[in-house]
Structure 1
């Protein structure tokens, strides 16, 4: 397993603004083979109902441990709240409905992109899908829901290739009216 550095480029209390930033960044990426991954802590029955509507075959386990319930065991997630969700490889069109379903619960959606294309005018070479990711954290400040918050953060991932990682992060931040503050988290891929 490898890792990437997820750089925070926009933090806002306005979820609509965060989604708009994600859409802008997706328009700059190659999403031809894209998919999304979900990581969340579902605490409320209402959020669970909405999430199950979006992802009926959700992969989950009880936050207290798998012995207290899991999708693998065929348990009812409503009997195991709060639950941890870690669901991978979903179609791109599931991202925004999942975000809306979370309500106040914390989560992260990671878009696995085909590439960050070259940006010749900025001196940036293309980056393959190995390190081309975009993550939106909702109701938390970190990728792992350890820092609950009432705001949302857009993170971009880019591999250091010919020293262009920081330049690409700054360029992507500029595209959404954000700025790279230096906040970076290690993200397993």
Structure 2
């Protein structure tokens, strides 16, 4: 198993700004084939109802642990709140409806890309699928919803922020009017 480095390139209290930044970054990525993964902590019955409309067959378990209820056991998630959501491999078109459904609950949406495209004019070679991801954390500063906040952070993933990949991080941050803050999290792949 390996890890990517997830570099924070934009933090904003404006969710629409964060979503626009994601769209911009997706425009310079190879999306074929692409999929999206979701992680969240759902605390409210209203958010749960909206998320279940977006993601039928939602995979979840009680925050207290699977013994407190899970989709695997066929339990009712509304009776088990708060619940953890770990739903993987969904179509790309599910991302924005999921983000809109989250309200003030924390989540991470990760786009699994086929690669970051080469940018010859910036001296950047293509990066393979293994290290090409994009994550938007909603109402959380970190990838794992451990740092709840009222803002949202866009993270770009590369192999290693201590290498030539750092030039790509800066280039991607520039595309969205952000900047690399030096904040990096290791993301298991």
TMscore range, shorter length: over 0.9
Distance in 2 of aligned mates of 1:40 and 1:134: 16
TM-score under structure 2 normalisation? 0.98
Distance in 2 of aligned mates of 1:43 and 1:67: 18
- Residues 3 and 159 in structure 2, CA contact (< 8 A), matched pair in contact too: no
Structure 1 runs, 4 residues or longer, greater than 6 Å off: none
Deviation at 1:163, TM superposition (A): 3.5
Over residues 143-185 of structure 1, what are the superposed CA-to-partner deviations in whole Å (9 max), with x where a residue is unaligned?
0000100000000001249932100000000000000010000
- Alpha carbons of 1:60 and 1:28: their partners in 2 closer, same or farther (altered >3 Å)? same
Distance in 2 of aligned mates of 1:29 and 1:106: 26
- Compute the RMSD of aligned alpha carbons: 1.2
- Counting matched residue pairs gives 189
1:9-158 superposed matches below 5 A = 9-158=9-158
> Per the alignment, in what secondary structure is the counterpart of residue 105 of structure 1?
coil
Distance in 2 of aligned mates of 1:117 and 1:18: 21
Deviation at 1:26, TM superposition (A): 0.2
TM-score under structure 1 normalisation? 0.98
More deviation, 159-168/134-143: 159-168
Distance in 2 of aligned mates of 1:74 and 1:171: 46
> Per the alignment, in what secondary structure is the counterpart of residue 70 of structure 1?
coil
Over residues 22-77 of structure 1, what are the superposed CA-to-partner deviations in whole Å (9 max), with x where a residue is unaligned?
00000010001110000000000000000000011000000001001000001000
> Per the alignment, in what secondary structure is the counterpart of residue 27 of structure 2?
helix
Structure 2 unaligned residues grouped into runs of 5+: none
> Per the alignment, in what secondary structure is the counterpart of residue 177 of structure 1?
coil
Distance in 2 of aligned mates of 1:8 and 1:25: 13
- 1:179 maps to 179
- Alpha carbons of 1:185 and 1:162: their partners in 2 closer, same or farther (altered >3 Å)? closer
> Per the alignment, in what secondary structure is the counterpart of residue 49 of structure 2?
helix
